Structure formats: C-alpha cells, structure tokens
C-alpha cells in the first residue's frame, strides 16, 4: 500500500502566525520548519504502523523548501521544490492521500491562517457552485485518479470543512482556532501522538475507501481579491469573464479545469 502525504504548514501543531510559515521572517520561520518536520515524521511513522509499505511526501507549502531534510524519516521519499504542473506526485500509483497541516478555506471565520491558494490574490473559489478550499481541490484532484483522501489534519475549522465535504474522512485536530493568528494548542507530545495514531488508523482502513468526486463537466469560478488583476483572456479563450473580479472555466475534468484557471 502506497500513501502520499501532502504537507502544508498553516495547520501544523505549534503554528499560529504567518511569521512561522513565511521564509522571510527569520527565527519564527526556523521554528515553523522544525514543527512541520516533527509532525511529518509522526505521520510517516503512523502510516507504516498502519500497514503502508511505501510513503511519498510532498512539501507543498509555498516553494516546497520547508522540511528539514536531514531530520526526515529514512523510510519515506520526499518531493520538494517547484513541481511544475504536477500537483499530487505519483498519484496514479497511490492508494490514499493524507492532507497534513492543512487549513480552512478563504473567508472561514476565526480559522488559523485561512486562505485558498493565495491569501493576497484569491478571494473565493467555487467548484460547480460550491465554495472550495485546498482540501476540496486536492480531494477532487486525487478523486479523478480514483484515490481517496483518508486523513486531514489542522485546526478545528479545517477538520470541520474536511468532514462536511468528504463523508467519512478521518480528521486530526491539533489546535482550536480563536482567530486568524491565535489558537489553543495541544502539547507537542500530544499532537504528535494524535497524528501518529490517526495516520495508522487511516492507513489501516485505506483500501476500500471511496474517492471524492465532483460532477462532470466541471465549472470552476475564481473571484480574485480587490485590485488583483484578472488574467489576460487574449490567449485563453476557454476563460469567461464574469465581472471585474471573477473568471470562470468549464472543462471535462476537474484536473483540466484546475490547471486552466491556475496557469
């Protein structure tokens, strides 16, 4: 059984503020890198304990250069840096996906570091008329390859979003959000024990889980933030301009629609 762990930073235990996830912020970012590395190792350990025989990890926050490579579990392999148009590496051969350290979608009240893809540029994303954040994006993306998301970790708002979108998905809540930059945390030991236990449980029941899917054809609607420019439609005739802040695309698959709106 092969599991892909997508690692973001905003929902990692111990992280509550943007300077812990921003490479330009010095000592606080160094702290964030340590936290995400510890938690990734706890997740990997749980996957193997639950029956995985192969684990691949993608460092998926910002430029993909966050994990402390020299500290990582030697049993897994690591995809780092820019991956071009590969969002979920090796997804075709995976049995399940874990979204580790994820966060609630843009606009979720009181959620730690909530956003969808770009806090500066993206106001709201909808898929077939339903608001989606990064949990929905990656679940739909994996679903097109027949692969289920088996575990989502982050704050309470992130976990609630995952459960409302993906029936039956396991969640691991490592913090209770009070605001954009404030939360009540589990201790490091308790958080990592929770991640390890839930990852083992998720791996153990991975086979037989149903992948998440959206109806086809797929329409994605993107509203950008105030004063963010819309992309030029000149060479992208498949995009529709809805208004001064909003573009839309319809495609035969989620993956195709996603790349058409993103690139």
Q: Which is nearer to Zn ion, 52 or 67 (CB)?
A: 67
Q: How far is the CB of 167 from Zn ion (least distance, A)?
A: 25
Q: How far is the CB of 115 from Zn ion (least distance, A)?
A: 8
**Stretch in the footprint of Zn ion (CB under 5 A) among 9-17, 31-39, 69-77, 209-217:** 9-17
Q: Which is nearer to Zn ion, 182 or 217 (CB)?
A: 182
**Stretch in the footprint of Zn ion (CB under 5 A) among 2-10, 67-75, 90-98, 174-182:** 2-10
Q: What is the side-by-side strand order in the sheet with 122-127? A: 130-131, 122-127, 218-224, 246-251, 240-243
Q: Which is nearer to Zn ion, 11 or 50 (CB)?
A: 11
Known catalytic residue at 61: no
Q: Which is nearer to Zn ion, 9 or 149 (CB)?
A: 9
60: alpha, beta or left? (left if phi > 0; alpha if psi -120 to 50): alpha
115 binds Zn ion (CB under 5 A): no
Q: How far is the CB of 66 from Zn ion (least distance, A)?
A: 9
**Stretch in the footprint of Zn ion (CB under 5 A) among 1-9, 46-54, 64-72, 144-152:** 1-9
Positions in 56-75 near Zn ion (CB under 5 A): 61
Q: Which is nearer to Zn ion, 61 or 157 (CB)?
A: 61
Q: What is the side-by-side strand order in the sheet with 54-59? A: 77-79, 54-59, 2-7, 96-100, 149-155, 170-179, 182-185
Out of 115, 192, 216, 245, which one is annotated catalytic? 115
Q: Which of 209, 196, 210, 212 is nearest to 254 (CA)?
A: 212
Residue from 8, 39, 95, 138 binding Zn ion (CB under 5 A):
8
Q: How far is the CB of 211 from Zn ion (least distance, A)?
A: 24
**Stretch in the footprint of Zn ion (CB under 5 A) among 8-16, 51-59, 119-127, 178-186:** 8-16
Q: Which residues are catalytic?
A: 115
Residues that bind Zn ion in the complex, under the rule CB under 5 A: 8-9, 61
């Amino acid at each position: 059984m092969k599991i892909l762990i997508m690692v973001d930073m905003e929902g990692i235990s111990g992280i509550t503020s943007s300077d812990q996830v921003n490479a330009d912020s010095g000592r606080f970012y160094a702290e964030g890198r340590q936290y995400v590395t510890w938690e990734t190792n706890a997740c990997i350990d749980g996957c193997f304990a639950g029956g995985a025989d192969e684990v691949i990890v993608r460092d998926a926050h910002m430029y993909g250069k966050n994990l402390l490579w020299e500290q990582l579990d030697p049993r897994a392999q690591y995809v780092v840096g820019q991956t071009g148009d590969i969002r979920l590496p090796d997804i075709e051969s995976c049995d399940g996906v874990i979204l580790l350290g994820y966060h609630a979608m843009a606009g979720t009240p009181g959620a730690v570091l909530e956003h969808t893809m770009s806090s500066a540029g993206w106001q709201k994303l909808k898929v077939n008329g339903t608001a989606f954040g990064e949990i929905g994006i990656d679940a739909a993306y994996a679903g097109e390859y027949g692969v289920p998301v088996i575990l989502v970790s982050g704050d309470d708002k992130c976990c609630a979003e995952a459960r409302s979108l993906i029936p039956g998905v396991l969640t691991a809540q490592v913090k209770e959000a009070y605001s954009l930059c404030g939360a009540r945390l589990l201790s490091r030991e308790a958080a990592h024990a929770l991640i390890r236990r839930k990852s083992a449980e998720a791996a153990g029941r991975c086979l037989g889980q149903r992948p998440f899917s959206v109806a086809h054809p797929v329409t994605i609607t993107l509203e950008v933030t105030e004063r963010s420019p819309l992309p030029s439609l000149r060479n992208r005739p498949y995009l529709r301009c809805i208004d001064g802040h909003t573009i839309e695309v319809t495609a035969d698959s989620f993956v195709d629609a996603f790349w058409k709106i993103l690139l």
